[in-house]
Amino acid sequence: MSTGNRLKDSASPYLRSAAHQPVDWQEWGEEAFERARAEGKPILLDIGAVWCHWCHVIDRESYENPEIAAMINQLYIPVKVDRDERPDVDARYQSAIGAISGQGGWPLTAFLTPDGKPFFGGTYFPPEDRMGRPGIKRILAAVSDAFQTRRHAVDEQARSLEEAVRGAELVPPAGGGFDAQVVDSVIESAVSRFDQTHGGFGGAPKFPHSSAIDLLLERSHWPDGARLETIAAKTLDGMASGGFQDQIGGGFHRYSVDERWCVPHFEKMSYDNSELLKNYLHGFQVFGLAKYRQVAEGIIAWADEVLSDRDGGGFYASQDADQTLDDDGDYFTWTQAELRAVLSPQEARVAELYYDVGPHGEMHHNPEKNVLWIAGTTQEIGGELKMADDQVALLLARAKGKLLEARRGRRPTPALDQTLYVGWNAMFVSAYLEAASVLDRASCRDFALKTLDRIVAEAWEESGGFLHRVGGPRLDGSLDDQVFPAAALLDAYQATLDRRYLDTAERAMRLAIERFGDPDRGGFFDRATDAPPLGGLEVRRKPIQDAPTPGANSVAVMVLDRLHSLTGEDLYRAWAEKTLEAFIGLVPQYALFASTYALAALVHARHPLEVVITGSDGDPRASELQRAAHAVYRAGKTVLRVAPERCAGGVLPPRLRETLADRKAPGAQAYVCVETTCYPPVSGPDELAALVSEVATTVGSASL
């Protein structure tokens, strides 16, 4: 008898998708552990996500199979976890199963003792032996037999595995003070892994490394930055021209299965697109090329249309890859016949050449399906077809519009996970606020502030900090859910000079220090010290690795340094430095995956830059200075527009107010400040842009 319907009221769409299965799934919690202990059974743990293709495959092949479900219900207590809902559970069991199998990922299939200790597992298992993988039926029988007949060996394996996970998460004592030279090891890792042919880092499968791109762009302003500039540009170009970018609808898929950025895994994640939006904004700032602005605008267009709760505010978590398990990105791919049915012959010919569409495409499940990627330039196509470049561009624009409308109107849209996760929303708020400044998009500013206000109204507790999601049953926030909103609050303060954003950011980081901080060894744990027991692997973790989102400890450092720069509160600077020191010995080990740490180290070494622009609201010179300040990419930079008619004395924090107290040059002026030092005011946009670049490459450089 199926009792799977216990998941039908779950807040998680992934868990609700299993409500019809004959497996007697339970949600993660003490009730499942108590039942396992009472019945003397091991736990079968499935961790996955609603966007995960292979999670749906194992569901259909195995967990909807009555024979396999009966085995599971007889031999195990089955527990299903949504990795987006419970990243703390996922992180610990990924580490454990990775130690067993040498790989992680989703679905994660783990076998646990009744008290939640893992002793065996892997990722996807087919129902029967195939593809070099053992079948799940054989595994279910063998693991149950081992648990019942060789329990001592199982418990010993569980203890050894727990110690391995504990050791992997152990942060060694800092081997001395902070030294910003550690940044060089991260940059050299990026350089050594750079794919000179296609851009990006490493081979297939190829993921975006957004923090690494920002790191290279930040250092590209330095005297030796030409090669870093080249690497960043090649990577931005490679990602943008491949099928990794949705060439029709905008936005990026999760990763590319090949090294060419051509064939993606088609799901689209909020956290990837927010960080890639920042990358292309920064690329536009550094290179001034319209193509990077266009990619950024494409991400915004997709997020506005698909990923946003336009009425209430908020960014949804993800968009699925497929409609059914029988397709693989069919919503996003085209046969030649499908394309020709939508376009005029002339439009089709241009589109086929530009997007490399032919009778045979790239998709294994349907060889006629083509991934759209940019295979040539409009100039090359114009030369082949004897057309002017502007005529080719016009035909392409028409073709793209028709393909997008046909996709919207004739194909079922892949499902959205409409959960509003606090940390991921905050990341997009920061990206949208940056887009508003760099691209002069007031609509981005308005929606970002609307989203942030909703997060504060519905997921903020003055005594405990931020929760993990907006709505649904209470779910305590992780470290990510504290530091990303704190960063977004500082960005909102920059955009509005509304002190409530700055005050809430301060409160959030003080709570993070109190509840997540390690006062003895520095750094922050991913779970609060007063959080209820996790169950199972009670392992303390301090996240530093960029995977898949920027490392939370590194983000905390940048937020703390920005707060110190604004307020002068030494507590923030001390915690920033102590956190950098806590991980300095691990940075060479994580290398490319410590890129956010390297960015934080650079900002800490030179201190965040503050650009304060004075002048009345209607002063065109002040507006020009503001645009010039936003046009330069500098990590950790704050631009404050101080108009006397709407800025009472309290809008600036005391430290900055005191620093600027004796600087009262008439008219519109820009002050570039570092710590308590402000450079002489400038009144020209070009002069300001040059000063921001110069200061950022000289202040703190002695320590680098």
219 and 148, same domain (yes or no):
no
Q: Note whether 123 and 221 are same-domain residues.
A: no
With a cut of 60, say whether residue 700 has pLDDT above it: no
Confidence of residue 704 (pLDDT cuts 50, 70, 90): very low
**What average pLDDT score do residues 363-389 get?**
95
String of DSSP letters for 608-676: -EEEEEES-TT-HHHHHHHHHHHTS--TT-EEEEE-TTT--GGGS-HHHHHHTTT---SSS-EEEEETT
Task: Note the pLDDT tens digit of each residue in 261-302.
Answer: 999 999 999 999 999 999 999 999 999 999 999 999 999 999
Q: CA-CA distances (angstroms) from residue 310 to 295, 437, 505, 678?
A: 22, 20, 25, 41
pLDDT of residue 662: 64
Does the residue 577 lie in any domain? no
Instruction: Give the confidence band of 703 by pLDDT, cuts at 50, 70, 90.
Output: very low
Indicate which CATH number applies to the domain containing 683. 3.40.30.10
| Predicted confidence (pLDDT) at residue 627 exceeds the cutoff of 80 | yes
Whether residue 668 lies inside any domain: the answer is: yes
Torsion of CA 303, 304, 310, 316, to 10 degrees: -10
CB 551 within 8 A of CB 545: yes
33 shares its domain with 77: yes
Q: Tell me how far apart the alpha carbons of residues 619 and 641 are, in angstroms, rounded to a whole number.
A: 12
pLDDT digits (tens, 9 = 90+) for 456-504: 999 999 999 999 999 999 999 999 999 999 999 999 999 999 999 999 9
pLDDT at position 702 is: 40
Q: Is residue 307 part of a domain?
A: no
Name the domain boundary from 354, 381, 416: 416
pTM over 0.85: yes
Considering the domain architecture, whether residues 356 and 399 belong to the same structural domain is answered as: yes
- What confidence tier does 698 reach under pLDDT thresholds 50, 70, 90? low
Same domain, 673 and 697: yes
User: What is the pLDDT at residue 621?
Assistant: 95
The residue assigned the tokens 């396999």 is: 68
Percentage of the chain exceeding pLDDT 90:
84
When pLDDT is cut at 50, 70 and 90, the band that residue 364 belongs to is: confident
Spatial distance between the Cα atoms of 263 and 256, rounded to a whole number of angstroms:
6
Give the model's pLDDT for residue 223: 79
Between 58-62, 107-111, 328-332, the lowest mean confidence (pLDDT) is in: 328-332
pLDDT at res. 676 = 81
Dump pLDDT digits (tens) for 221-249. Answer: 887 789 999 999 999 999 999 999 999 99
pLDDT score, position 578: 96
Strands laid side by side in the 318-319 sheet: 268-269, 318-319, 416-417
524 pLDDT more than 60:
yes
Q: To the nearest whole number, what is the mean pLDDT of the chain?
A: 93
Q: Tell me whether residue 585 is in a domain.
A: no
Query: Are residue 232 and residue 165 in the same domain, yes or no?
Result: no
pLDDT band at residue 650 under the 50/70/90 scheme: confident
Give a yes or no: residue 557 inside a domain: no
**Token match 């209607």: residue?**
618
Domain shared by 44 and 139, yes or no: yes
Of the candidates 343, 357, 350, which has an alpha carbon nearest to the alpha carbon of residue 243?
Answer: 357
Residues 121 and 224 in one domain: no
Q: Which segment of 78-92, 479-493, 670-684 scores lowest on mean pLDDT?
A: 670-684
Note whether 64 and 147 are same-domain residues: yes
Which comes out higher in pLDDT, residue 537 or 176?
A: 537
- Side-chain-side CA neighbours of residue 692 (13 Å): 31
Does one domain contain both 207 and 327? yes
Structure confidence at residue 328 (pLDDT): 83
pLDDT at 637 > cutoff 80:
yes
Structural domain that includes position 125: 4-169
